[in-house]
Amino acid sequence: MAFGYKKVLIIGATSGIGKTLADKVVQNGSKLIVAGRRKENLDEIVQRYGTDKVSAKAFDVMQLEQIPQFASEIISENPDLDCIFVNSGIQRPFDFSKPETVDLDIFDQELITNYTSAVRIAKAFLPHLQSQKTMTAIAFTTSQMALVPMMRCPNYGASKAALHHFILALRTQLQDGPGNVKVLEIYPPAVQTELHDAKHQPDLKDGHLIGMPLQEFVDEVWDRISEGEDQIPVGSARDIYNAFEVKRQELYRDMTELLSGLLKQFLR
């Protein structure tokens, strides 16, 4: 199979996974819109490939109240948009054994970036995706820590777990809804990106060297999306996924079926 989408939006494309995915989209021959906070990084992608292949829109997902307008502008300018990657994410360490060191403003910023903004983006773009005559897709980048938390970054794991649960429910809900929207989830292991850089996690030395090489990770993700997979755990995330997540999702489906039957007795 081949990557089947013609116009792709990547939110969180200024570095790391999003920026490298952008290369794959253009090399595949699909048109691309890149979005993120750092305009200069977006402009570099446009300059590299040309305005006939790539357009850019600077946007900060922390500005929750602006998400509907952002979506409206993207859709108006790109009515053939059929695939969205929701990729923005930050990771911060917190040590609650020393509560005086915990900055709750940063804690809230991480939760909004990793979870709340993704939910609002989905809500804003779903009517357009559902209205298309061909198959569309919305893909979310979560983490292996959506499945197993890490003590160092308790909020990161919690926010990605929240997004993972939302994705499972969203995929189920959209099965019977209008349109043909495919919901994808990408579960990275640790990957060599600026997520671990000293500017974000100053106690780490050479944090950008932690984990799987970025290009190797994106190459595998791209191949598996092109093969039609909608759940893509990579590297150590695949081991975790296979260890228990497959069974957990069977339980989720069983519970969904059971509760759906029970609710029919009470829903009007």
Q: Which domains does the chain have, with CATH numbers?
A: 7-236 (3.40.50.720)
Residue 244 has pLDDT above 90, yes or no: yes
pLDDT of residue 202: 64
The pLDDT confidence band at residue 210, using thresholds 50, 70 and 90, is: low
pLDDT of residue 209: 55
Q: Which of 104, 96, 89, 105 is nearest to 145 (CA)?
A: 89
pLDDT of residue 200: 54
Q: Is pTM, for the whole model, over 0.75? A: yes
Over the stretch 91-125, which tens digit does the pLDDT of each residue have? Answer: 999 999 999 999 999 999 999 999 999 999 999 99
pLDDT of residue 197: 54
The pLDDT confidence band at residue 267, using thresholds 50, 70 and 90, is: confident
Mean predicted confidence (pLDDT) in 249-256? 96
Over the stretch 88-100, which tens digit does the pLDDT of each residue have? Answer: 999 999 999 999 9
Task: State percent of the chain over pLDDT 70.
Answer: 93
